[in-house]
Amino acid sequence: MQLRRTQFMRWVDRRLPPARAHALSQKNLFIFPSARGLAYLAVMLVVWVIGTNYQNNLVLALAFFMVSFFVVGILHTFLNLSGLRVEYVGAGDAFAGQEFSLRFKLVVRRQRAVHAVSVCWSGDEKAGVELSCDGQGQLEFSVPLYTDQRGKLALPRMSVSSVFPLGIIRCWTWLNWDVPVLVFPAPMAYPLHAATTSDDLGDGLHPVRGGEDFSGLKPYQPGDSLRRVAWKAFARGQGVFVKDFQQNASREHWLDFDALQELDRERRLSVLCYWVLQYFQAEEHFGLILPTQKVQPDKGYQHRTRCLIALAEFPK
């Protein structure tokens, strides 16, 4: 049974290769009566037996109506999902041990409304979202996900299903996402006694990005703070630049992997992660020393993300 199941899933994977956007069509939609559909068919059988035993053509016709209604229901259940597109939009920060959400977009290119489409990760049917859309437009939604493993996350299949209009037939698909999701270690509060390498001298030997002293313009990159955009240059039509500041840090923290000798690897990463977040909050300068790489001291959101990525990608 288990074997057949995995074989089936392998077949599903072949049929639905990972992608960043999926168009739902007869190629990837599955349709089957639900348990309630079987109950409905049982009621249909009862009506048929009544009709046959009383040799009553109208009761038989009612039984045939029920079968035909079921068949029409299959078509309409399929039509509710067919032609929709689901696209990946992006992800927020993902920490192990915390629920995080991935954002997707439902694109409807038809006039008919989309009713009660439930989206969830396969294997976790309870936590999901139900989507409805009045037709022609798009709808952003996020699906919560949970993992306790840091690092590159292989997304589970996303189940997109609907039982509208009759509730007795289920139409669904499993979408595979070709989407990089990096899960940062779970932050763990822990004192950083000797782990902090402070340059107490403050003689400015470590020029760090960010600070108060203007040092020139550099081209805008997504993620740069809008407050730092050189609006005057922009108004002159020279393009989008940001003002670059530098400061000679007077005090900087070093987060050192090897300084946390008493903890195992994952815990050390968790502690470092916690402090990365703490220092970012406090807008302090910090650097990160891992056995594999060294991140120079800096501050700001991009720096924080760089550090977190380094932690998440630390070899297991």
Partner 1 sequence: MTPLNAKTLLWLCIAQGMALLPSFFQLPLWLPFFWCATVAWRTQVYRRALPLPSLRWKVLAAALGILALLFSFNRFFSVESFVTFFVIAFSLKLLELRYRRDGLMLVHVTFIGLAISFLFYQSLLMVIYALVVLVLVAHAWVMLYRGETLSARPDWRYALLLVVQTLPLMLVLFLTMPRMSQLWNMPTPGEQGRTGFSDSMSPGDFSNLVESDAVAFRVSFEGGQAPPPSTRYWRALVLEHFDGRSWHRQPGWRSSLRHSQTGQPPQEWEPQAGAERIQYSVLMEPHREPWLFSLMLPVSASSTSLNLRFTSFATLSSRTRVGSRVQYEVTSAPEYRWQSTSISSFDFRNNTQFPKALNPQTIAYGEGLRQTLGSGAEADREIIQRVLQRFHERFRYSLSPPALGEHAVDAFLFETFDGFCEHFAGAFTLTMRAAGIPARVVVGYQGGEWNPLESYLIVRQREAHAWAEVWLEGEGWRRVDPTAAVAPSRIERGLSGAVSTGEDTIDSAAGDLGLLLWMQLRLDAFSYTWQKFVLSYDSNVQQAFLSALLGGAELWRMGLFFVGATGSLILLYYLISTYWQRPKTRGPLDRALQRVLKQCATLARARHHGETLEAYLSSLQRSHPDLAQRLKPLMDRYQAMAYEPSAHSEEAIRSFRRACRRF
Of residues 114 and 186, the one with the C-beta less far from partner 1? 114
**Contact region for partner 1 (CB under 8 A) — 1-9, 131-139, 206-214, 290-298?**
131-139
Residue 86 Cβ vs partner 1, minimum distance, rounded to whole Å: 11
Could you tell me if 157 and 122 are in contact, meaning their C-beta atoms sit under 8 angstroms apart? yes
142 to 87, 89, 176: CA distances (angstroms): 11, 9, 16
Of residues 79 and 289, the one with the C-beta less far from partner 1? 79
Of residues 93 and 140, the one with the C-beta less far from partner 1? 140
Token pair 């977009």 is found at: 105
Sign of CA dihedral 137, 30, 38, 75: positive
Of residues 113 and 309, the one with the C-beta less far from partner 1? 113
Which among 168, 173, 181 is positioned nearest to 100, based on CA atoms?
181
Q: Which of 10, 15, 112, 294 binds partner 1 (CB under 8 A)?
A: 112
Of residues 126 and 232, the one with the C-beta less far from partner 1? 126
Stated as kind and residue range, the H or E segment containing 164 is none
Backbone φ and ψ for 103, nearest 5 degrees, come out as -100, 135
Q: Which of 134, 140, 213, 258 binds partner 1 (CB under 8 A)?
A: 134
Which among 197, 175, 206, 183 is positioned nearest to 296, based on CA atoms?
206
Token pair of 241 as six digits: 């630049």
Of residues 169 and 255, the one with the C-beta less far from partner 1? 169
Q: Which of 16, 21, 31, 182 binds partner 1 (CB under 8 A)?
A: 21
* C-beta neighbour count of 177 within 10 angstroms: 20
Q: Which of 24, 29, 40, 175 binds partner 1 (CB under 8 A)?
A: 40
Which among 100, 80, 83, 82 is positioned nearest to 91, based on CA atoms?
100
**Contact region for partner 1 (CB under 8 A) — 134-142, 188-196, 231-239, 251-259?**
134-142
Q: Which of 163, 242, 249, 311 binds partner 1 (CB under 8 A)?
A: 163
Of residues 13 and 130, the one with the C-beta less far from partner 1? 130
Of residues 112 and 265, the one with the C-beta less far from partner 1? 112
Count of alpha carbons within 13 angstroms of residue 221, beta-carbon side: 5
Which among 156, 87, 82, 161 is positioned nearest to 119, based on CA atoms?
161
Residue 130 Cβ vs partner 1, minimum distance, rounded to whole Å: 7
Q: How far apart are CA 213 and CA 186, in angstroms?
A: 36
Q: How far apart are CA 7 and CA 1, in angstroms?
A: 10
Binding mask of the shown chain, residues 41 to 80, with x at each position contacting partner 1 by CB under 8 A: --xx-xx-xxxxxxxxxxxxxxxxxxxxx-xxx-xx--x-
Q: Which of 130, 140, 148, 258 binds partner 1 (CB under 8 A)?
A: 130
- Characterize the bridge pairing of strands 286-289 and 253-256: parallel
Residue 20 Cβ vs partner 1, minimum distance, rounded to whole Å: 7
Residue type for 207, please?
P
Binding residues for partner 1, per CB under 8 A?
Answer: 19-21, 23, 25, 27, 36, 39-40, 43-44, 46-47, 49-69, 71-73, 75-76, 79, 83, 107, 109-117, 130-138, 163-168
